[in-house]
């Protein structure tokens, strides 16, 4: 059985999005070459990326046009990987998903993802998309969290865990970075 992982960048005060611009502009403060290299390890078992509408549009808008001549070695490698990866966008408002290897799911997340989890394959990863994570939490679909906590407080935004969420988690991995970011990996108990 495949598992579903929420891969998130998080502020120290618990927000996954600032709700400003792309919502993730604060991640650059602690994003370093060391963290970029470790991200390859974090997502090594991912074979399917899942996005909510907002995150999909941002990721598609950027990564579908990469790499460029100005791209770093890491950006080039990530662009090649993400453009080849199977992708799913969950939205009730998009009419189509144009990024290569992407399909659109417009309803019944529980049924669709239960079916996907039962198929052969590796890890299904939700990237950012905190509102989508909330829906998956409500449906009991998340098996694991892989979180990079950034040393920044933004005061408001979209939290990773909505109010009244209760979960028992088991730490399976952690690593700190010179930039001040900390990676934690938790299994849902």
pLDDT tier for residue 20 given thresholds of 50, 70 and 90: confident
Per-residue pLDDT averaged across 155-167, rounded?
96
Looking at residue 19, its pLDDT comes to 86
For 118, list phi and psi in degrees, rounded to 5. -80, -15
Of the candidates 67, 40, 64, the one whose C-alpha atom is nearest the C-alpha of residue 146 is 40
How far apart CA 25 and CA 151 sit, in angstroms, is 13
How far apart CA 146 and CA 27 sit, in angstroms, is 15
Per-residue pLDDT averaged across 144-172, rounded?
97
How far apart CA 130 and CA 96 sit, in angstroms, is 21
How many residues in total does the chain contain?
189
Looking at residue 162, its pLDDT comes to 94
Rounded to the nearest integer, the mean pLDDT of the chain is 94
DSSP reduced 3-state for 42: helix
Per-residue pLDDT averaged across 150-161, rounded?
96
pLDDT tier for residue 6 given thresholds of 50, 70 and 90: very high
pLDDT tier for residue 76 given thresholds of 50, 70 and 90: confident
24: Cβ contacts below 8 Å, ≥ 6 apart: 9, 17, 18, 128
Q: Note whether 50 and 90 are within 8 A (CB).
A: yes
Looking at residue 189, its pLDDT comes to 94
Per-residue pLDDT averaged across 33-61, rounded?
94
Q: What is the number of helices (H) and of strands (E) in the chain?
A: 5, 10
Per-residue pLDDT averaged across 55-83, rounded?
88
pLDDT at 186 over 90: yes
Cα atoms in the 13 Å half-sphere on the side-chain side of 74 = 11
Looking at residue 65, its pLDDT comes to 86
Tell me how far CA of residue 140 lies from CA of 111, 135, 136, 144, in angstroms. Answer: 12, 9, 6, 11
DSSP reduced 3-state for 175: strand
Looking at residue 143, its pLDDT comes to 98
pLDDT at 49 over 80: yes
Tokens representing residue 46 in the block: 């991912």
């Amino acid at each position: 059985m495949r598992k579903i992982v929420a891969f998130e960048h998080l502020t120290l005060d618990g927000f996954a999005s600032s709700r400003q611009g792309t919502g993730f502009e604060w991640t650059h403060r602690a994003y370093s070459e060391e963290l970029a290299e470790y991200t390859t390890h974090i997502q090594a078992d991912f074979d399917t990326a899942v996005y909510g509408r907002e995150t999909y549009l941002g990721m598609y808008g950027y990564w579908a046009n990469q790499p460029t001549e100005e791209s770093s070695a890491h950006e080039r490698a990530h662009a090649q990987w993400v453009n080849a990866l199977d992708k799913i966008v969950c939205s009730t408002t998009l009419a189509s998903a144009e990024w290569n290897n992407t399909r659109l799911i417009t309803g019944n997340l529980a049924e669709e993802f239960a079916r996907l989890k039962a198929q052969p394959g590796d890890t299904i990863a939700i990237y950012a998309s905190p509102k989508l994570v909330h829906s998956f939490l409500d449906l009991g679909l998340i098996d694991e969290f892989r979180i990079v906590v950034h040393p920044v407080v933004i005061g408001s935004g979209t939290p990773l865990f909505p109010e009244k969420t209760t979960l028992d988690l088991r730490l399976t991995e952690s690593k700190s970075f010179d930039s001040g970011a900390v990676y934690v990996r938790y299994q849902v108990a």
